[in-house]
Amino acid sequence: MADNYQQLNLFNEGKDYFKITKPIRLIELFAGIGAQAKALEVLGVPFEHYKICEWAIPSIKAYNSIHIKDFTDYSQSLTKKELIDYLQGNISVNYNDPCDVSRKPEKWLRDTYNNCIATHNLMNIMKVKGSDLNIVDTDKYCYIMTYSFPCQDLSLAGKRQGMETSQADGGTRSGLLWEVERILDELNRERERV
């Protein structure tokens, strides 16, 4: 077996090989437990966990435990009401619906908040603006944005309800893919203004 690995690309014949020469900042939308980050780690690609967007609490907790391993109490100076205000409508316990956090115990609120802060989590993609990604110093960093949008409404094993409109507009969970397009459009408009 060869000790050398080379890129095999059937689709870009005659085009220059693309090489990233700047430090990578990874932005994972629909991050889950961080499959894209894990792929980069397995490949030995150095990168910074820059931002994630994930609203499922079990996934946020797992992402921190697997990748970041930051268990700092960022909530120390916040009241229970401030924690509720921050989390309400932005997270889910069942992967489908926003969680009413107003009845959750304070320790649960603090743990959830701390995991969100530790992972640089933007939480609810329907509320994320392009500027929230904080893409700055592009001469110094290479930003890679990945997304694994919910495919349940497209899957043969799922409800097959399609993805015509975003869930924000009354569509399906798979329609959340359109939120990625919205964010990219916002980033392009920002770039054109500069």
* DSSP-assigned states of every residue in 96-154: SS---GGGS-HHHHHHHHHHHHHTTB---GGG--GGGG----TTT-EEEEEE----TTT
Looking at residues 158-172, what average pLDDT do you find?
61
The secondary structure of 72-103 as a DSSP string is: --TTTT--HHHHHHHHTTT-BSSSSS---GGG
pTM of the predicted protein model: 0.84
Exposure class string for 19-36: b at 16+ Cβ within 10 A, else e:
eeeeeebbbbbbbbbbeb
Counting Cα atoms < 13 Å in the Cβ hemisphere of 31 gives 34
Beta-bridged to residue 52, according to DSSP, are 28, 121
pLDDT greater than 60 at residue 9: no
Task: Give, in words, the CATH class of 24-148.
Answer: alpha beta
Tokens representing 80 are 């229970």
Give the active site residues: 151
| pLDDT at position 13 | 66
Rounded to an integer, the average pLDDT of 83-97 is 95
pLDDT of residue 2: 43
When mean pLDDT is compared across 29-38, 47-56, 138-147, 185-194, the lowest value belongs to 185-194
Residue closest to 70 by CA, chosen among 86, 49, 55: 49
Predicted confidence at residue 190, as pLDDT, reads 87
Given a cut of 60, whether residue 19 has pLDDT beyond it is: yes
Q: 170 versus 194: which is more confidently predicted?
A: 194
Domain(s) labelled CATH 3.40.50.150 in the chain stretch across: 24-148
Q: Bridge-partner residues for 47, per DSSP? A: 24
How high is the pLDDT of residue 191? Answer: 84
* Residue 27: pLDDT over 90: yes
Which percentage of the chain shows pLDDT scores above 70?
78
Share of the chain above pLDDT 90, in %: 69
Query: What number is the average pLDDT over the span 21-36?
Result: 96
9/76: higher pLDDT = 76
- The first and second tokens of residue 45, run together, are 């690609």
- Asked if residue 6 has pLDDT above 70, the reply is no
pLDDT band at 8 (very low <50, low <70, confident <90, very high): low
Residue 1 has pLDDT above 60, yes or no: no
Q: What is the pLDDT of residue 3?
A: 47
